[in-house]
Chains A and B, each alone.
Chain A
Amino acid sequence: MRKILLFLSIIIVGFIFIIRLFYLQVYQSQEHNLFEDNAIRKVYDYPKRGFVYDRNGELLVANQPSYDVMFIPREVKSLDTLEFCSLLNINKDQFIEIYNKAYRYSPWLPSVFIPHLSKEDYAVLQEKMRKFEGFYIQKRSLRLYQTNIGANVLGDLGEVNNAIIEKVPYYKMGDLIGKQGVEASYEDILRGVKGIKFIQKDRFNRDIGPYKNGIYDTLPQPGNDITITIDAKLQEYGELLMRNKRGGIIAIEPSTGEILAMISAPSYNPNLLVGRNRSKNYSKMHYDTISKPLYDRGLLAQYPPGSPFKVLNALVGLQEKVVTTNDRFSCRMGYYLGSRRLTGCHSHSSPLSMNDGIAQSCNSYFANVYRRIIDKYNDPAEGMNVWSNHVKSFGLGNYLGYDLKIGSKGRIPDGAFYDKWYGKGRWVSTYNISNAIGQGEVEATPIQLANMVAAIGNRGYFYTPHIIKHIEGESIDKNYTTAKHTTIDKENFEPVVHGMFDVYNKGTAAALRVPEIEICGKTGTAENFIKINGVKTQLTDHSIFVAFAPKDNPKIAIAVFVENGYWGSRFAGKIASLMIEKYIKGYITRTDLEDWILTHSLEDEYEKPYSGHAFGINKETTLQVIPLDESLRSKKEPDLKQ
Chain B
Amino acid sequence: MVRETHRYFKFDWITIILFLLLVGFGWLNILSASHTGETIDYLNFNEPYGKQLMFVFLTFGLIIIILSIDAKFYERFSSIIYIISMLSLVGLFIFGKNVNGATSWYDFGGMTLQPSEFAKAATALAVAKYISDLNTDINKFRDQIQCFVLILIPAILVLLQNDAGSTIVYAAFFFVLYREGLPKIYLTIAAIVIILSLLSLKFGAIITSITAGIIIFINHFFTKKRPQLIQPILILIGCIVLSAGVKFFYQSVLQPHQQDRISLWLRLEKDPVKLEKMKKTFAYNLNESEKAIGSGGVTGKGFLEGTRTTGKFVPEQHTDYIFSTVGEEWGFVGSAGVVIIFVLLLIRILHLAELQKSQFSRMYGYAVAAIIFMHFMINIGMVMGLIPTIGIPLPLFSYGGSGLWGFTILLFIFIKLDSNRINQW
> Residues on A close to B: CB < 8 A?
2-3, 5-7, 9-11, 13-14, 16-18, 20-22, 24-26, 28-32, 37, 39-40, 200-203, 208, 211-212
Min Cβ gap A48→B in Å is: 32
B373 contacts which chain A residues (CB < 8 A)? 6, 9-10, 13
A–B Cβ pairs within 8 angstroms, 6 of them: A2-B178, A9-B175, A18-B339, A25-B327, A28-B294, A203-B313
Q: Is A25 within 8 A of B332, CB to CB?
A: yes
Question: What residue of chain A has the Cβ atom nearest to residue B317's Cβ?
Answer: A203
A26 contacts which chain B residues (CB < 8 A)? 297-298, 332
A20 contacts which chain B residues (CB < 8 A)? 384, 386
B147 contacts which chain A residues (CB < 8 A)? none
Q: Is A201 within 8 A of B311, CB to CB?
A: yes
Q: Is B313 within 8 A of A29, CB to CB?
A: no
B380 contacts which chain A residues (CB < 8 A)? 17
Min Cβ gap A104→B in Å is: 14
Residues of B within 8 A of A (CB-CB), count: 46
Is B336 in the interface zone, CB < 8 Å from A?
yes
Stretch at the interface among B39-47, B58-66, B98-106, B340-348: B340-348
Min Cβ gap B397→A in Å is: 14
Question: Could you say which of B293, B307, B366, B386 contacts A25, with CB atoms under 8 Å apart?
Answer: B293
A211 contacts which chain B residues (CB < 8 A)? 307
Is B114 in the interface zone, CB < 8 Å from A?
no
Measured in the bound complex, the distance between the Cα atoms of B339 and A18 in whole Å is 7
Question: Could you say which of A10, A32, A40 contacts B343, with CB atoms under 8 Å apart?
Answer: A10
B48 contacts which chain A residues (CB < 8 A)? none
B315 contacts which chain A residues (CB < 8 A)? 203
Measured in the bound complex, the distance between the Cα atoms of B377 and A6 in whole Å is 12
Measured in the bound complex, the distance between the Cα atoms of B384 and A10 in whole Å is 17
Q: Is B295 within 8 A of A29, CB to CB?
A: yes
Q: Is A6 within 8 A of B381, CB to CB?
A: no
A37 contacts which chain B residues (CB < 8 A)? 295, 307-308
Q: Is A25 within 8 A of B313, CB to CB?
A: no
Min Cβ gap B185→A in Å is: 14
Min Cβ gap B316→A in Å is: 12
B342 contacts which chain A residues (CB < 8 A)? 14
Q: Is B386 within 8 A of A16, CB to CB?
A: yes
Q: Is B377 within 8 A of A13, CB to CB?
A: yes
Q: Is B307 within 8 A of A14, CB to CB?
A: no
Measured in the bound complex, the distance between the Cα atoms of B307 and A200 in whole Å is 7
Is B75 in the interface zone, CB < 8 Å from A?
no
Q: Is B179 within 8 A of A6, CB to CB?
A: yes
Give residues 175-195 of B contacting A (CB, 8 Å): 175, 178-179, 181, 187
Q: Is A6 within 8 A of B386, CB to CB?
A: no
Min Cβ gap B24→A in Å is: 21
A14 contacts which chain B residues (CB < 8 A)? 339-340, 342-343
Measured in the bound complex, the distance between the Cα atoms of B323 and A364 in whole Å is 92
B340 contacts which chain A residues (CB < 8 A)? 14, 18
Is B376 in the interface zone, CB < 8 Å from A?
yes
Give residues 317-348 of B contacting A (CB, 8 Å): 327, 331-332, 335-336, 339-340, 342-343, 346-347
Question: What residue of chain B has the Cβ atom nearest to residue A6's Cβ?
Answer: B175
Question: Could you say which of A10, A21, A24 contacts B346, with CB atoms under 8 Å apart?
Answer: A10
A21 contacts which chain B residues (CB < 8 A)? 293, 327, 332, 335-336, 339, 384
Closest 7 CB pairs of A and B: A14-B343, A39-B307, A25-B332, A39-B311, A203-B313, A6-B175, A24-B294
Is B137 in the interface zone, CB < 8 Å from A?
no
Measured in the bound complex, the distance between the Cα atoms of B298 and A31 in whole Å is 9
Given A6-B370, A10-B343, A14-B343, A32-B311 contact (CB < 8 Å)? no
B359 contacts which chain A residues (CB < 8 A)? none
Give residues 12-56 of B contacting A (CB, 8 Å): none
Binary per-residue interface labels of chain B (133-171) against chain A in the complex, 1 for a CB within 8 Å, 0 otherwise: 000000000000000000000000000000000000000
Q: Is A29 within 8 A of B294, CB to CB?
A: yes
Min Cβ gap B164→A in Å is: 21
Q: Is B354 within 8 A of A25, CB to CB?
A: no
Given A29-B297, A37-B307, A200-B310, A17-B366 contact (CB < 8 Å)? no
A32 contacts which chain B residues (CB < 8 A)? 295, 297, 301
